Amino acid sequence: MTSFLLASGNAHKAEEFKELFQGRLTISPAPATLPVDESGKTFAENAFLKAKAYAEAYKVPAMADDSGLVIEALPDLLGVQSARFLPELSDYKDKCRRLLELLESTEDRSAYFVCVLCFYISPDEVYFFEGRVHGVIGQGLRGEHGFGYDPVFVPTRTEQDGKSLAELPEWKNKFSHRAKAGLAALLFFKESIDKSHKKS
């Protein structure tokens, strides 16, 4: 099994996964975005809800991802609600500034990004892969790359230069939470990938 429908109509996200999977897994955007109630209490539950909904609607194997930022000292602040944090603010830069304000008096600024991928092939065949990248919340917004909370997240790296994910596009492509989850999926599906390449 090497072809999956992305549980999203976002063509840009499909292109991101295409690069992530280096052409070894085929991820196609859905013809339309489906309304899915992401009521899960964990990233895995929400990824499952999305993958299952798209697989059942389009009758093909589907893949969904759910990701977010977890603040160690305030675990209920973002997490699975990361994308829905302060919905009245449409610009993530404003959300980041508000997050920094909330953490002003917090000494422990440890945080991590988590991504869970769910591959739904059938009710009896569902696979999950998780990736994390640890770090801290910086003191301000830095960098123009990336998206979401990248400008305020400083990942743990050998180079202790204080750079945010938004300043490290090449590093992020290799070591982000999404990249780690994707690599785990590639390694798992390697046998079926190799078989499909031999047939072609």
| CA–CA distances in Å: residue 158 to residues 20, 171, 183, 191 | 23, 12, 21, 33
Q: How many residues does the chain have?
A: 200
Are the CB atoms for 130 and 181 separated by under 8 Å? Answer: yes
3-class DSSP state of 173? helix
Is 76 labeled as catalytic in the residue annotation? no
What is the phi-psi region of residue 136: left when phi exceeds 0, alpha when psi lies from -120 to 50, beta otherwise? Answer: beta
Task: Identify the active-site residue in 37, 65, 66, 124.
Answer: 66
Element (H, E) at 155: strand 153-155
3-class DSSP state of 162? coil
Burial class (CB in 10 A: 0-12, 13-18, 19+), 91: exposed
Half-sphere exposure of residue 156: CA atoms within 13 angstroms, side-chain side: 11
Beta strands, E only, 53-147 = 62-71, 110-122, 125-137
Annotated active-site positions, please?
A: 66
